[in-house]
Amino acid sequence: MNIAIYSRKSKFTGKGDSIENQIEMCKQYIKSHIKGKFEFLIYEDEGFSGSTINRPEFQKLINDIKLHKIGILVCYRLDRISRNVADFSSTLEILQSNNVDFISIREQFDTSNPLGRAMIYIASVFAQLERETIAERVKDNMLELAKSGRWTGGKIPLGLVSKKKKYIDKSGLKRQISYLDINTSEMNTVKFLYNKYIELGSLHKLEVYASENEIKSKKGILFEKSTLKIILQNPIYVKSNNAVIDYLKSNGWKVYGKADNLHSLLTYNKTKQSIKNGKHIKSIKAPGKKFAAVSNIPGAIEAELWLNVQKQFGENKNTFPRLGKTNNALLTGKLKCGYCKKYMLIQHGRVSKVTGEKLFYYVCSLKRKSHGSLCHNHNAKASEIEDVVLTSLKNLPKSKMKFIEKLKIIYNSRSNNNTEYEKIFIIKSISQKKNQIDNLVNILSKKQCIENIIIDKIKSLKYEYLELEKKLTAIDNSQKKYKLDSRNMNLIDDLINEHDIIDKLPRKNQKQLIDNLISELLWFGSKKKSGKIVIKFVGYSPMLQFS
C-alpha cells in the first residue's frame, strides 16, 4: 500500500514544524499505528499559501489519487491541506470517491469513521475563520496607517524614492519605518509631463512627444499612454487643498485628513482581486470603497495645474484616436515591422474613391508612437498584404510533402534519447538527496548542540534537490513538447488540405490558419507605395519573400 505524506510551508526554515519535520512526524505516526508493508510517497510545497489549492505538488498528489496510486493521505496538520472550507471540502470528496483515507496527526482526525469526517469539516471551518480573521486584522491595521497618510508599501511612483527612518517607540524599543521623499530629477520629469500635457492637449500627443524626445520611465523604457495616464491622474503629486479634496469626493473617493496646501494625498484600496477560472483578476472597486488620505509626502504639483489636467482628461474622454478592430484584421499579433521588429497595428484610413470601401493600413507601433522619429517604415495596405499571405498559404499544398518532411526533421531533432537516461539519473539523485535530508532531520531531533551545522547542510541539500527538480521538470516539458509536436503533424496535415479554399473561408478560419502555420511575418515598406513581405512558415527554414 502507498501512503502519501503531504507537507506545506511558506518558506524553508529548518526549525519547528518545517517541511522535513512534518514528514518525519507523519512517518513516525504511521509506523506506530499501521501494521504491514507500505511505501511512502512524499509531496512537498514550499512557498505556497493554504488559501488556494493551486500548488504544484498538491495538484500532482490529486492526480495520483485519481490514478489510484494512493491508499492513505497523511498530513501533519489540517491547514497544511487547505485553509479554505470549499477547497478542503472538494478535496475530501475526491479522497472519498477514490477510497482514500485521510489522517491529520496533529488533530487526530481519521476519515475512516463518520465522527472523524464530521470533525474534519468542523475543524476546516475554524481554519478558514482563523485565516480570514488574520487577514481582516492585517487589513484594518493597514487602513488605519493609510488614514494617517503613511506609506504602506507598493510600487514607488516616478519622482519619489523610498527611505527608512529609525525611531524609539513609547516602550523604548527601536523601530524602523519606510517613507517616501522627493527625487528631484525624476520629479522635474513629472512636472514637465504635466505642463506638456496641458500644452499639447491630448495623451496621444504627449506619448508621441515623449517618444520623439526619448523621455523615459524610472526603468528606462519609453512611456506608454497607460503609464502617462497613471502619472497624470495620481494625487500623490498634488499639493492638497479643498478643491482637490472636493474633486476626489465627487469621483467616489472617501478622503481622510485636512488639506494643508503643502502635502500630497495617498490613495488606497483602489482595486480588488478575485479568482475567475483559476486566474487572479484585478478590478476597480466601487465608489465609496476606495479612499485617499493627506500624507506626509511633500506635494510637487500645484493644485490648479493638477485639476486642469483632470479637466482636460474629462474633455478628451471620447476623442482618443481610433484603431481598427483587431478581430477583423488577419495579421495582428503576427505581422512585425521588418526594421525595428515591433508589432504592426491596424489603423483606419480614408474611404476609397474608386470602390467606396473603407481602407485599412498596418502601421508600425513604434513609428506611430514616435511620429516617425524612431522608425520610418512605410504603412502596408491591409487588403493587399493580407491577399499576399493568403495566396502563399493557398500555394502551400503544392509543396506539401516537402513541408511535412521538414517539420518531421525539426520535431525529431527535439527528441533526444539520452534525455531518458539523464532523467533516470536525476530521479535517483533526488531520492538520494531526500534520504540525506531525512537522516539529517533525525540527527537534528536528537542532537541540539550541532543544530546550526545540520541546518546549513539541510539548506544546501535542499537547494541541490530543488535544482534537480527543475532539471527534471525541464526534461518532462521537453518530452511533452515532442509528443505535442507529433500530434500537431496530423493537425497541420488537415489544415494544409484546406488551403485550396482558403480565400473562401470565413475570416475567423483564415486567421486560425495563419496563426497555426506561419511563425513570422515581416514587412519592409518603401517610398514607392510598395514593399517586401517576408513569410516564415512553422518549422520551415527558408523564408518566402514577396514584393
CB 165 within 8 A of CB 177: yes
Residue 261 DSSP class: S
pLDDT score at 72:
92
Mean pLDDT over 144-161 rounds to: 75
Q: Report the distance separating Cα 29 and Cα 376, nearest Å.
A: 72
- CA-to-CA distance for 190 and 233, rounded, in angstroms? 11
Note the pLDDT of residue 120.
65
- Cβ pair 267, 291 in contact under 8 A: yes
pLDDT tens column, 50-79: 777 888 899 999 999 999 999 999 998 878
CB 14 within 8 A of CB 46: no
326 in Cβ contact with 249 (< 8 Å): no
Question: Which stretches within 318-450 are classed as H helix?
Answer: 365-370, 382-394, 400-413, 418-446
Instruction: Count the neighbouring beta carbons within 10 Å of the beta carbon of residue 160.
Output: 23
Q: Which three cell numbers mark 25? A: 512526524
Tell if the pTM clears 0.85, that is, is over it: no
Element (H, E) at 178: strand 174-182
Domains and CATH numbers, the chain: 2-139 (3.40.50.1390), 180-315 (3.90.1750), 322-547 (no CATH)
Q: Please indicate whether residue 345 or residue 424 has the higher confidence score (pLDDT).
A: 345
Distance between alpha carbon 472 and the CA centroid of its chain, in Å?
23
- Give me the count of residues in the chain: 547
Q: Three-state SS across 264-289?
A: EEEEECCEEEEEECCEEEEEECCCCC
Any idea which of 11-15, 45-49, 290-294, 360-364 has the lowest mean pLDDT?
A: 11-15
Tell me what pLDDT residue 232 has: 93
* Distance separating alpha carbons of residues 128 and 131, to the nearest angstrom: 5
Backbone angles phi, psi at 512, to 5 degrees: -60, -40
Which of the given ranges, 104-108, 258-262, 270-274, 413-417, has the highest pLDDT on average? 258-262
Query: How confident is the model over 412-418, as a mean pLDDT?
Result: 54
Report which of residues 494 and 47 the model is more confident about: 47
Residues 23-41: tens digit of each pLDDT: 888 998 888 888 888 899 9
Residue with cell 518558506: 11
Q: Which tens digit of pLDDT belongs to each residue from 191-250?
A: 999 999 999 988 888 888 888 888 888 888 888 888 899 999 999 999 999 999 999 999
Within 10 A of 57 (CB to CB), how many other CB atoms are there?
17
| pLDDT(365) > 60 | yes
Residue type, 219: K
Q: Residue 416 — φ and ψ, nearest 5°?
A: -120, 115
User: Checking phi first, is residue 65 left (phi over 0); if not, alpha (psi -120 to 50) or beta?
Assistant: alpha
Cell readout for 108 is 487526530
Q: CA distances (Å), 374 to each of 56, 213, 274, 295, 320, in order?
A: 44, 10, 40, 40, 22
Q: Which residue has the higher pLDDT, 42 or 34?
A: 42
Helices and strands counted in the chain (H then E): 15, 19
The answer to whether residue 14 scores a pLDDT higher than 90 is no
Q: Three-class SS string for 57-92? A: HHHHHHHHHHCCCCCEEEECCHHHCCCCHHHHHHHH
Cα 85 from Cα 95, distance rounded (Å): 15
Residue from 534, 264, 265 nearest 392 by CA: 534
Sheet of 263-268: strand order equals 254-256, 291-298, 263-268
- Alpha carbon distance, N-terminus to C-terminus of the chain: 68
CA distance linking residue 490 with residue 517, whole number of Å: 13
Dihedral angle of Cα 187, 188, 192, 195, to the nearest 10 degrees: 70
